[in-house]
A = this chain, B = another copy of it.
Amino acid sequence: MTNQQTFSVAVVGATGAVGQQMLKTLEERNFPVGQLKLLSSKRSAGKTITFKGEPYTVEEATPEAFEGVQIALFSAGGSVSKKLVPEAIKRGAICVDNTSAFRMDPEVPLVVPEVNEEDVKSHNGVIANPNCSTIQMVVALEPIRQKYGLKKVIVSTYQAVSGAGLEAIEEMKTQTKEVLEGNEVNPEILPVGGDKKHYQIAFNAIPQIDLFQDNGFTFEEMKMINETKKIMHMPELEVAATCVRLPVETGHSESVYFETEQGGASVSELKGLLETAPGITVQDNPSEQLYPMAIHAVGKPDVFVGRLRRDLDRDNGYHMWVVSDNLLKGAAWNSVQIAESLVKLGLVK
């Protein structure tokens, strides 16, 4: 007999790519789920989803659905979060929001537990989960920043289509078959569902993720730039990003150049820091062709780091290759980790 406290949990967007991974992660982590509510749009309501062997009927996400909920994990798009997070808070829930709706709100902590777990304490009912591409980068940079400081980051990403949802995965697969058979393709979703033009992702690389901003960067790139500064509490950090969508199903890769404040650290010193840091697996042995790759990261919670090498011109410059499952550490697993932090720190009433 166990007297472990359990919590009433809601998953909003339960039928989506990330929602499904959230449920799987709650199961695998044996999170102390008491009551469980699976919420979605009206369209998906009524579906049945199994959790720990029990069938659950998906309900429509309405304000009233949050009555009695203690922890609400949101991953159903920014507009849903904007509308329903305040309703959930009003009813006493703490929300972990995996959309961009509240990330840059100064009243809302933006948390990657390996980097700034303590920030959850300053929540006002909602904690934002950062963008997938940001999370894996800051996890890899943090142990180095702690010891040597950080001055500048330039990242180019190699992002998987699952970041754009289940429909984007289907589009990529269907398109790939069409191209192999020599047929015309008819792109309808990627690069951005809500933008005007759509391009072939099969056997291509598209340098657009999310909408363009006035400064020429995309919103995805600005997320990486602004969120990194916020999570690390470094408004002065120089960060630049180029975000690119690839014909990869799951697993984001990143080519990261960074300059530390204090120069001179050897690659083996940095590797040592990464090897003992939480949430990181170092895969780095050029002589054995060992380096992280998307297909090997799928289904694993860690951030994989390799190809760590010194810049040939600057003694505080380094390059590395960072890969992680964008649906897990990039989304579902980081959200569940935040929920675990809330429980551990006694913040869930």
Of residues 140 to 187 in A, which have CB atoms within 8 Å of B's CB atoms?
Answer: 152, 154, 156, 158, 173, 176-177, 180
Residue interface bits A20-41, CB-to-B below 8 A is 1, else 0: 0000000000000000000000
Residue of B nearest to A181 (CB): B177
Tell whether, in the assembled complex, residue B158 and residue A205 are in contact, meaning their CB atoms are under 8 Å apart: yes
Tell whether, in the assembled complex, residue A195 and residue B289 are in contact, meaning their CB atoms are under 8 Å apart: yes
Residue interface bits A229-242, CB-to-B below 8 A is 1, else 0: 00000000011101
Question: Is A50 an interface position by the 8 A CB rule?
Answer: no
Tell whether, in the assembled complex, residue A205 and residue B294 are in contact, meaning their CB atoms are under 8 Å apart: yes
Tell whether, in the assembled complex, residue A207 and residue B309 are in contact, meaning their CB atoms are under 8 Å apart: no
Nearest CB on B from A244, distance (A): 7
Contact status of A207 and B306, CB under 8 A, knowing A180-B173, A247-B247 = yes
Tell whether, in the assembled complex, residue A248 and residue B205 are in contact, meaning their CB atoms are under 8 Å apart: yes
Residues of B within 8 A of A204 (CB): 248, 293-295
Residues of B within 8 A of A196 (CB): 288-289
| Chain A residue total in the interface (Cβ 8 A) | 59
A200 to B295, CA, bound (A): 8
Question: Is A310 an interface position by the 8 A CB rule?
Answer: yes
Residues of B within 8 A of A248 (CB): 203-205, 247
Interface of A is mostly: mixed
A260 to B238, CA, bound (A): 17
The one of B156, B216, B242, B307 that contacts A216, using a Cβ cutoff of 8 Å: B307
Tell whether, in the assembled complex, residue B293 and residue A207 are in contact, meaning their CB atoms are under 8 Å apart: yes
Residues of B within 8 A of A287 (CB): 212
Nearest CB on B from A161, distance (A): 9
Of residues 188 to 220 in A, which have CB atoms within 8 Å of B's CB atoms?
Answer: 191, 195-197, 199-200, 203-208, 212, 215-217
Residues of B within 8 A of A197 (CB): 288-289
Tell whether, in the assembled complex, residue A309 and residue B215 are in contact, meaning their CB atoms are under 8 Å apart: yes
The one of B238, B255, B309 that contacts A156, using a Cβ cutoff of 8 Å: B255
Residues of B within 8 A of A225 (CB): 312
Nearest CB on B from A160, distance (A): 9
A191 to B286, CA, bound (A): 13
A206 to B319, CA, bound (A): 16
The one of B180, B191, B207, B306 that contacts A307, using a Cβ cutoff of 8 Å: B207
A255 to B173, CA, bound (A): 26
Residues of B within 8 A of A291 (CB): 207-208
A50 to B346, CA, bound (A): 78
Tell whether, in the assembled complex, residue A216 and residue B267 are in contact, meaning their CB atoms are under 8 Å apart: yes
The one of B205, B319, B321 that contacts A293, using a Cβ cutoff of 8 Å: B205
The one of B207, B216, B321 that contacts A207, using a Cβ cutoff of 8 Å: B321
Interface centre among A216, A217, A253 (most CB of B within 10 A): A216
Contact status of A246 and B294, CB under 8 A, knowing A240-B313, A257-B154 = no
Given contacts A204-B295, A216-B310, A238-B314, 6 further A-B contacts (CB under 8 A): A152-B313, A158-B244, A158-B246, A205-B248, A207-B253, A207-B292
